[in-house]
């Protein structure tokens, strides 16, 4: 006799699956998560998905209602169940829900990346070839997440005038290592849409090492704004150490300059990074860059300190304060300038001059693999970029992929 379905328990599985997906959606970009943390979180997501699977049709009906009324997390859970079922009516439902709003599409794309490609490839191919722009965007995004090139050149998708689709296609060029899009891609280097311009420059620099793309990327970093740090991080990696350091100095005492220093990994920048730690808005980012180069862990190695008195980096409890921007460095440790300076003075001779470093070691294939295995998420993303830069056409390692699948890839 089958076990009875308890609605309250099934509802809890639905709520927890959606909630935990939201946590992992943030965690894959977080500076304090590593692969083991992602695996643990993903196993918890899977456990609640299993609860919905075991519940059968009642589980589907409950998560279906949540997907219609809720956000991306509920769409993710519903889409996993629908795609696994193979039932056309369920798949059509989650596609319509996931494509209704860009915010909800994150859940659908994540579900298409969560399952093995063999199970979702037909759905992804159908979405990629759809005449409906929102569906095509989701399909190309899912193909990129799976690192499976669509069955057509991405240049063809750039003909569409929809800016969201264009941005995602330009990003996919870099993620997939697509080597047949340069001419079309270069036409977006002066695009009025800032996101299109950034992703064109980012992919053009990553895949093709194109001088015009690199120059555009440097200009984005110098101008500041939401893409400045990512632009500086990749541009610095494409420059030789000397020119990269001179460019970093040109950027001044900015977040983009700190991102460039951390990406380049030149120990000569460490004293400058210590100086930036004395400026509260830059301190934690400078501490992260210092840790990325040297391999220290500010908290574990007792190199952290208290938040500067009176400094408010993000929203506070004052209802009259108009500062509503979230603290972008919230999960980074506050560095202790005094302790870090002493640490560096005692160990500066351990770092080879003129060599790029990652986590305390000169950059090498072995170090990159070690970082993918043991580094924290932003360090792992840095290692992924380095691996793609080494050989044209190499797809970018997907550090956002399900943790259990990444463990398999790493052997």
Our count of domains for the chain comes to 3
pLDDT in tens, 333-363: 999 999 999 999 999 999 998 999 999 999 9
Q: 296 and 356 share a domain? A: yes
Same domain, 355 and 392: no
CA distance 88 to 277: 56
pTM: 0.93
* Same structural domain, 343 and 388: no
Residues spanned by the domain of 385: 364-400
Domain annotation covers residue 277: yes
Q: Which of 78, 97, 116 is the last residue of a domain?
A: 116
Asked if residue 390 lies in contact with residue 405, where contact means CB atoms within 8 angstroms, the answer is: no
Residue 68's alpha-carbon distances to 75, 95, 140, 203, 238, in angstroms, are 8, 11, 23, 35, 45
| 158 within a domain of the structure (yes/no) | no
Same domain, 388 and 368: yes
Under DSSP, the state recorded for 151 is: S
Q: What is the pLDDT of residues 15-38, one digit of tens each?
A: 999 999 999 999 999 999 999 999
The residues near 270 (Cβ < 8 Å, ≥ 6 apart) are: 290, 293, 294, 344, 348, 351
pLDDT value, residue 111: 98
Is residue 14 domain-shared with residue 94, that is, in the same domain?
yes
**Are 379 and 272 found together in one domain?**
no
391 and 341 assigned to the same domain: no
Listed residues 116, 132, 159: the one ending a domain: 116
Assess whether 284 and 376 both reside in one domain: no
Q: Does the residue 240 lie in any domain?
A: no
Distance CA 301, CA 296 (A): 7
With respect to residue 272, please indicate whether it lies within any of the assigned structural domains: yes
Per-residue pLDDT of the chain (411 residues; tens, 9 = 90+): 345 567 788 899 999 999 999 999 999 999 999 999 999 999 999 999 999 999 999 999 999 999 998 899 999 999 999 999 999 999 999 999 999 999 999 999 999 999 999 999 999 999 999 999 999 999 999 999 999 999 999 999 999 999 999 999 999 999 999 999 999 999 999 999 999 999 999 999 999 999 999 999 999 999 999 999 999 999 999 999 999 999 999 999 999 999 999 999 999 999 999 999 999 999 999 999 999 999 999 999 999 999 999 888 865 444 454 544 578 999 999 999 999 999 999 999 999 989 999 999 999 999 999 999 999 999 999 999 999 999 999 999 999 999 999 999 998
Are residue 295 and residue 370 in the same domain, yes or no?
no
pLDDT digits (tens, 9 = 90+) for 210-248: 999 999 999 999 999 999 999 999 999 999 999 999 999
In a domain, residue 157? The reply is no
Separation CA 42–CA 224 (nearest Å): 35
Task: Based on the fold, state whether residues 372 and 274 are members of the same structural domain.
Answer: no
Structural domain ending residue among the three candidates 93, 116, 139 = 116
Asked whether residue 133 is assigned to any structural domain, the reply reads no
The alpha carbon torsion through 286, 288, 293, 296 (nearest 10 deg) reads 120
* Residue 169 maps to a domain: no
The structure tokens 């893409």 sit at 227
Q: Residue 343 falls within a domain, yes or no? A: yes
């Amino acid at each position: 006799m089958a076990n009875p379905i308890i609605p309250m328990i099934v509802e809890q599985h639905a709520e927890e699956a959606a909630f935990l997906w939201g946590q992992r959606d943030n965690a894959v970009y977080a500076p304090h998560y590593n692969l083991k943390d992602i695996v643990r979180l993903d196993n918890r997501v899977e456990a609640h998905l299993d609860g919905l699977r075991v519940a059968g049709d009642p589980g589907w009906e409950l998560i279906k209602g949540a997907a219609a009324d809720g956000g991306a997390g509920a769409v993710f859970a519903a889409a996993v169940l629908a795609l696994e079922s193979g039932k056309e009516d369920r798949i059509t439902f989650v596609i319509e829900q996931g494509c209704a709003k860009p915010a909800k599409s994150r859940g659908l794309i994540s579900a298409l990346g969560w399952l093995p490609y063999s199970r979702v490839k037909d759905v992804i191919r159908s979405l990629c070839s759809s005449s409906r722009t929102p569906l095509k965007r989701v399909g190309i995004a899912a193909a990129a997440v799976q690192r499976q090139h669509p069955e057509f050149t991405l240049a063809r998708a750039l003909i569409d005038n929809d800016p969201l689709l264009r941005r995602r296609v330009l990003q996919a060029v870099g993620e997939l290592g697509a080597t047949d899009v340069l001419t079309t891609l270069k036409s977006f280097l002066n695009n009025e849409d800032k996101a299109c311009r950034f992703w064109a420059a980012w992919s053009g620099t990553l895949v093709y090492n194109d001088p015009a793309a690199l120059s555009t990327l440097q200009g984005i970093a110098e101008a500041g704004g939401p893409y400045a740090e990512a632009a500086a991080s990749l541009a610095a990696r494409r420059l030789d150490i000397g020119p990269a350091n001179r460019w970093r100095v040109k950027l001044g005492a900015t977040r983009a300059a700190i991102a460039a220093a951390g990406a380049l990994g030149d120990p000569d920048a460490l004293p400058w990074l210590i100086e930036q730690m004395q400026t509260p808005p830059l301190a934690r980012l400078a501490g992260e860059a210092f840790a990325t180069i040297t391999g220290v862990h500010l908290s574990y190695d007792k190199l952290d300190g208290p938040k500067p008195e009176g400094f408010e980096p993000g929203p506070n409890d004052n209802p009259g304060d108009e500062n509503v921007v979230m603290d972008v460095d919230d999960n980074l440790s506050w560095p202790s300038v005094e302790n870090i300076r002493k640490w560096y003075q005692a160990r500066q001779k351990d770092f080879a001059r003129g060599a790029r470093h990652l986590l305390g070691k000169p950059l090498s294939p072995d170090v990159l693999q070690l970082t993918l295995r043991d580094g924290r998420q932003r360090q792992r993303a840095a290692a992924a970029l380095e691996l793609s830069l080494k050989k044209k056409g190499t797809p970018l390692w997907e550090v956002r992929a399900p943790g259990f699948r990444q463990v398999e890839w790493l052997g």
